[in-house]
């Protein structure tokens, strides 16, 4: 046996000794024991992450989603959890929702305590089938690259190895740990949003494992995301010979967009921006159809209600009496608002990072942009909801650039395990 093999063997024996001697009381697990176990997880974590990355799992790739769901289910079963793969049948239909949605992997780990803790991540990516060959899993220095590695396959692996760490420590002071890993987050979770919301209702803590950005920040608030759709029907005619016989849908669309320019409210964070528009196909024909889409962001659910009513009222004012104007509004993701429980738990996370790992941590209590599934979890729950529990990295949604920082594996596994332990004391 060479030296490296001997050292690895000794680490394995030491980890095994910890797992068999530590009692189920949180007070018996020292910080050093926890560090030893999570340090021993890094290579296994990277191996699992490579397996996940090398399965293409775009949000509409049902074959790939089913394949990765089976792999995740196997890994979660190995932690001792009860695992099921749930088909998506109760679907919230939006403008771009596909006919079929991939499954949700659900795992429940039962302990001896009372705390109810929920861990969420997603297995789907924004990439198309066939792109994997251009960016397979690879490691260069402190970075691991791959399609979907940051968003959000690192989070899936982090959940698996958090549960595995608890198993190695023989820690069971929690009541239940419920894991939901969905396959439709990148398309606004039409098939999993209801399950996430219902499951989160009676939880004490919800940890969401989206990436922590380049600096590992935790987020307690996210913007809500909505969409507005204008559909104009007019009447075509010859643009040069008899334009007056037509009803110009483009003219009406321009009027409608113009009278909706004041619906944003910087004071409340409400934003409505028209971003996509189409009208007509031929230069010399009065267009009989026109459409437009708007991106809407809000920090409060009530603002979505307000904007929907305003849109319905504004379209009644038409420029061309014979045009038909329809508007549709959809909530793609509600906002997540920070509560006191989340603030306290995030403060504990900062103290763990500072005092036990000697690392800085930033906590963002104000929404800065995009929304996540953490908002569905927090919609009807009083739980402490924390987003950004995943590894640090960047390049999400970009070919040949998505990566995670390898040296954040151990700190993040340490943090997630410690937060579960701390939450189980209460």
Active site residues: 124, 185
Peptide bond between residue 151 and the one before it cis (omega within 30 degrees of 0): no
Residue the block writes with tokens 């997880």 = 41
Distances (CA, A) of 71 to 50, 153, 404: 12, 12, 21
Buried b (16+ CB within 10 A) or exposed e, 131-153: bbeebebeeeeebbbbbbbbbbb
Residue 62, token pair as written in the block: 């049902």
Distances (CA, A) of 377 to 192, 333, 336, 380, 426: 11, 11, 9, 7, 21
> Which residues, in sequence order, are bridge partners of residue 228?
294, 329
CB contact at 8 A, 122 and 152: yes
> What contacts 278, CB < 8 A, 6 or more positions away?
290, 291, 292
Residue 28, token pair as written in the block: 């018996």
CB contact at 8 A, 185 and 332: no
Residue the block writes with tokens 């113009």 = 258
> Which residues, in sequence order, are bridge partners of residue 265?
270
Residue the block writes with tokens 């990566």 = 403
CA angle 420, 425, 426 (to 5 degrees): 105
């Amino acid at each position: 046996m060479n030296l490296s093999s001997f050292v690895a063997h000794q680490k394995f024996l030491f980890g095994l000794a910890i797992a068999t001697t530590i009692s189920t009381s949180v007070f018996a697990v020292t910080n050093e024991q926890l560090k030893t176990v999570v340090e021993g997880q890094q290579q296994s974590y990277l191996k699992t992450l490579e397996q996940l990355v090398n399965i293409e799992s775009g949000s509409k790739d049902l074959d790939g989603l089913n394949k990765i769901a089976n792999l995740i289910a196997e890994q979660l079963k190995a932690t001792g959890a009860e695992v099921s793969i749930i088909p998506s049948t109760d679907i919230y239909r939006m403008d771009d929702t596909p006919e079929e949605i991939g499954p949700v992997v659900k795992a429940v780990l039962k302990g001896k305590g009372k705390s109810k803790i929920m861990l969420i991540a997603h297995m789907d990516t924004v990439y198309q089938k066939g792109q994997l060959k251009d960016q397979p899993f690879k490691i260069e220095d402190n970075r691991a690259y791959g399609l979907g590695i940051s968003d959000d396959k690192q989070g899936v692996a982090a959940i698996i190895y958090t549960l595995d760490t608890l198993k190695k420590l023989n820690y069971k002071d929690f009541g239940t740990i419920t894991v939901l890993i969905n396959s439709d987050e990148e398309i606004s979770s039409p098939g999993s949003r209801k399950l996430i919301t219902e499951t989160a209702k009676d939880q004490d803590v919800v940890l969401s494992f989206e990436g922590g950005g380049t600096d590992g920040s935790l987020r307690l608030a996210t913007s809500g995301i909505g969409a507005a759709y204008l559909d104009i029907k007019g009447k075509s005619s010859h643009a040069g010979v008899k334009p007056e016989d037509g009803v110009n849908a483009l003219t009406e669309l321009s009027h409608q967009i113009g009278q909706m320019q004041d619906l944003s409210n910087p004071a409340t964070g409400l934003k409505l921006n028209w971003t996509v528009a189409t009208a007509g196909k031929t230069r010399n024909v009065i267009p009989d159809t026109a459409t437009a889409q708007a991106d809407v962001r809000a920090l409060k659910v009530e603002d979505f209600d307000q904007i929907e009513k305003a849109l319905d009222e504004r379209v009644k004012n038409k420029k061309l009496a014979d045009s038909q104007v329809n508007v549709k509004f959809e909530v793609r993701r509600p906002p997540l608002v920070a509560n006191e429980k989340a603030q306290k738990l995030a403060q504990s996370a900062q103290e763990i990072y500072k005092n036990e790992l000697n690392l800085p941590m930033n906590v963002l209590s104000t929404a800065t942009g995009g929304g996540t599934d953490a908002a569905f979890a927090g919609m009807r729950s009083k739980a402490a909801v924390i987003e950004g529990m995943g590894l640090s990295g960047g390049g999400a949604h970009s070919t040949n650039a998505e990566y995670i920082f390898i040296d954040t594996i151990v700190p993040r596994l340490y943090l997630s395990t410690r937060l579960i332990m701390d939450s189980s004391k209460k």
